Structure 1
Amino acid sequence: MSNFVISCGGTGGHLAPGIAIAEALQESGHHCRLIISNKDVDSRLVKNYPQLQYARSPGMGFSMSPVKFVKFNIEQIRALVFTMKLMREFKADAVIGFGGFLTVGAVFAAFLTGVPVMLHEANRRAGRAIRMLAGFARRVYLPPGVNIKGLPRRMIHHCGYPIRKEIQRMPQDEARAKLGLDVTGKLLLILGGSQGATALNTWVTDNFEALAKDNISVYCITGLNKTAGGAIERISSDGQTARAVFTPFVDSMAVALSAADLVVARAGAGSIAEFARCRLPSILVPYPYSADDHQMANAQFLEQQGGAMVVQESELDRLLGEVTDLIFNDWLIKRFRENLERLDRANPVDRIVKDMASIAADPA
């Protein structure tokens, strides 16, 4: 059995697949240490997985601001020293990085100590860290149809996004009961990713009166440090009570996804994969300032596959009409769910874990 270091902290989109891989590795008898950041989102998510072992690394995100750029480089040096010490003490056989600022130190530490490196890119446009570090890797896992210029094909394995095993669709009534939601009509989920989305949170408060008239309730996951929790109630046109519930975070995303009829969300790769797993149609509002506009690439791919609609943030004035048209269109919702089921047929976790184990066992 092998010892794996998994660099996956900083955002939910990096941490969640790292957890999925770590769980599968442990079930196969391997040992893991997950490198995470000191961010609140990491702390909140990992508390649900006490069976895994974590190491909090120094580090901060990249910035072109002169002062922050200096701090970034100092933190990268600290992260490199931290990771090299961790790898020596843990006797690491292999390292896998999921992108972000923590992966840089982990990969250089592995390179300097002769430990094989693997990288996973979830988005349909590879991020800066993955592109920069790909030349140090023995294997790079990319979404189907995505490549990195100049990278030999033998180094690439095309696969999907590793999803945590508890992300499974459950009966809608059961899910709503778990959330404590007593609603009779449609339920719209608003999800801005692990960091939240102020534009989507504001859209809910601005448009809830109109949604309530059609007996559409809202469950809005605002993001940590975005908006305090709370609830609004309104009487719909047929006398039913529609509710808007605001919560900073949910510990069970599968419950929230299963409770909803439709989700309006950012277009992170992890969110999209979980929508597919739970067969939840979506209207995607890509974050317009994402690196390399990768969220738009993610969203357009899912729309082309018939699993979502795309509305740009600059067009939020038409979002209300799109929501009400789609959420009551049973035929189109059914088609979306069928297409999401087709996209979710391949589970990449077992394939990735098997490949990782073979690389760790043969580091030459």
Structure 2
Amino acid sequence: MRFLFVGGGTGGHLAPALGLAEALRERGHETLFLSGGREVEQDFLREAGPAVPLGTERGRLPRPLRLLRAMVRARRQARAFRPDLVVGLGGLTGAAALAARRGRPLVLLEGNRVVGRGVRLLRPFASGALTLFPEPAAELPNGVCVGPVGRRALRPRPPAEARAHFGLPAEGPVLLLTGGSQGALALNRAVAAAAAALAADGVRLLAAAGPGKEEELRRAAVAAGLTAVVRGHLAEMGAAYSAADLALCRGGAATVAELWLHRLPAVIVPYPGHADRQQVWNARALEPGVEMVEEPAAAVQRARELLADEALRARMRTALAATAPAEGLEQGVRILEEIAGRRA
């Protein structure tokens, strides 16, 4: 069978879709991704198999005209690919799933605890929905909470092996800094300002600073004598989570799912620009396995305190294990196959 994935924009939209597509291909199915074309998507889509940018995120045309053009392109791609099922990922590009359906069933993916605007737009046309949290499953047609969806790049490794992969010492606490797929300058700068204090604490830093945002943090680490691996993007996030003792991060859908999968305690600094405060709601679902601190400098200070308290981090891991849903990849793939099979 053929599965067409339409949408993107951030890792939260793409990450669970990548895991599903990977598993579908392993079972002999064909997949195709239609994405917006943002630079940040390309790091994810290297894992995705065939992918075509629709151009919603780039160009001189006004946004509505870019979306209209993307819908024309999506319909053309769907006509050639002939999918048995279309998966809508949300984001602006996700609206192009309406043009790509061509009478085929549409299934939505929602990774946030609050249903996003792109998914709400597609809701009346959907045959089903797969969600990370139970609350949106209750709002969406035939919604099923499958929990976090893994993929090959997220597979855990032994901690010593994971640290060696990044060239980090086997001993000492490791702080994983990630602002999500796009990075977060506010978090990068807060860590850069505290680089000398982190070095004095004996902390090692592993940072996914965001594409084009790594140099300032890298320079600060060198100047402070902080042992640090700073990259724009970390492709092997399973190794990164396995190497870390604590994460300092945003609270996007992909990040919270991965924290749950790896049972990694975290200090979450929710992105302040969302009107629906979706990252606040995401973070609250993981408490007390994570702590939420809204001011970046205060969050770094709290991360230092937690890195010095191994017993508290152990209790946070236990809390994450107690609240985490089962890994949802197998269930998600089975649901997609069942819905597609009704029309194949």
Q: TM-score normalised to the size of structure 1?
A: 0.87
> Which residue of 298, 301, 312 corresponds with 2:282?
298
Within 1, Cα distance between the matches of 2:131 and 2:205?
35
Residue 22 of structure 1: how far off its partner (Å): 0.6
1:332 and 2:312 matched: yes
- Helix, strand or coil at the partner of 1:147: helix
Deviation of the 1:145 alpha carbon: 2.8
Counterparts of 1:269 and 1:114, CA distance in 2? 30
Match of 1:238 in 2: none
Matched, 1:101 2:92: yes
How do 1:258-273 residues align onto structure 2 when only pairs under 5 Å count?
258-273=242-257
How many residue pairs match? The answer is 342
Deviations 1:147-189, CA, capped at 9 Å, x for gaps: 378755xx22122132213312222221111101236421111
1:122 corresponds in structure 2 to 111
Q: Deviations over 1:130-157 (max 9, x none)?
A: 11110100002233431378755xx221
User: Of the two, which has the highest radius of gyration?
Assistant: 1
Q: Report the Cα distance in structure 1 between the residues aligned to 2:180 and 2:42, rounded to whole angstroms.
A: 16
Residue of structure 2 equivalent to 1:64: none
Q: Any conservation in 2 of the 1:6–1:95 contact (CA below 8 Å)? A: yes
Shift of the 77–16 alpha-carbon distance from structure 1 to 2, 3 Å rule, reads same
Runs of 4+ in 1 over 6 A off after TM superposition: none
List gaps (5 residues or longer) in structure 1.
62-66, 236-240
Deviation at 1:197, TM superposition (A): 0.5
For the pair 1:243 / 2:227, whether they are aligned, the reply is yes
Alignment of 1:157-168 (within 5 A): 157-168=144-155
Are residues 330 and 351 of structure 1, via their aligned partners in 2, closer, same or farther at CA, if it must alter by over 3 Å?
same
> Residue 53 in 1 paired to residue 50 in 2?
yes
| Alignment check: 8 A CA contact 2:98 2:122 kept | yes
| Alpha-carbon distance, 1:9 to partner | 2.7
Q: Secondary structure at the match of 1:32?
A: strand
- SS of the equivalent of 1:146 reads helix
Inter-partner Cα distance in structure 2 for 1:37 and 1:157: 26
Letter aligned with residue 123 of structure 1 = N
Q: Which residue pairs with 1:134 in the alignment?
A: 123
AA in 2 matched with 1:359: I
Matched residue SS, 1:219: strand
Of 148, 166, 173, the match for 1:186: 173
Determine what percentage of the aligned residue pairs are the same residue: 33
Write the deviation string for residues 263-287 of structure 1: whole angstroms up to 9, x where unpaired.
Answer: 1000011111112222211000000
Letter in 2 for 1:256: A
Q: Using the alignment, how far apart are the partners of 2:247 and 2:18 within structure 1?
A: 24
Alpha-carbon contact 1:183-1:243 (below 8 Å) kept? no
User: Residues 58, 156 of structure 1: CA spacing in aligned structure 2 closer, same or farther, 3 A cutoff?
Assistant: same
1:83 maps onto 2:65 in alignment: no
**Is this contact kept in 2: 1:126–1:148, CA < 8 A?**
no
Deviation at 1:345, TM superposition (A): 5.0
Deviation per CA, 1:223-263, whole angstroms, max 9, x where unpaired?
0122327353578xxxxx74233221112111111111111
Q: Taking structure 1 as reference, are residues 38 and 60 closer, same or farther at Cα in structure 2, changes over 3 Å only?
A: closer
- Give a deviation string over 1:17-63, Cα, whole Å, max 9, x none: 111111111122211111123222222222245xx2112212139xx
Q: Secondary structure at the match of 2:176?
A: strand
How far apart are the structure 2 equivalents of 1:79 and 1:195?
A: 23
Residue 329 of structure 1, CA deviation: 1.5
Q: Could you tell me how far apart the structure 1 residues matched to 2:150 and 2:119 are?
A: 20
C-alpha distance 183-207 of structure 1, shift in aligned 2 (>3 A): farther
Is the 2:196–2:226 contact (alpha carbons within 8 Å) kept by the matching residues of 1?
no
Uncovered stretches (5+) of structure 2, i.e. residues with no partner = none
3-state SS of the aligned residue for 1:292? Answer: coil
Separation in structure 1 between the aligned mates of residue 167 and residue 231 of structure 2, nearest angstrom: 12
Q: Answer yes or no: is 1:276 the counterpart of 2:238.
A: no
Kindly indicate whether the alpha-carbon contact (under 8 Å) linking 1:118 and 1:139 is maintained by their aligned counterparts in 2: yes
Aligned-partner SS, 1:194: coil
* d(CA) in 1 for partners of 2:300, 2:4: 45
1:181 and 1:234, CA in 2 relative to 1: closer, same or farther beyond 3 A?
farther
Aligned equivalent of 1:4: 3
Cα 1:147–1:276, aligned 2, differ >3 Å: closer, same or farther? Answer: closer
Secondary structure of 1:166's aligned partner = helix
Tell me the amino acid that sits aligned with residue 131 of structure 2: L
CA distance in 1 between partners of 2:318 and 2:138 (Å): 34
Are the aligned partners of 1:223 and 1:248 in contact in 2 as well (CA < 8 Å)?
yes
Q: Distance in 2 between matches of 1:204 and 1:151?
A: 39
Q: Taking structure 1 as reference, are residues 227 and 333 closer, same or farther at Cα in structure 2, changes over 3 Å only?
A: same
The amino acid across from 1:362 in the alignment is R
Is structure 2 residue 269 aligned with structure 1 residue 285? Answer: yes
Give 1:273's aligned amino acid. A
2:108 is paired with a residue whose SS is strand
Structure 2 letter corresponding to 1:211:
L
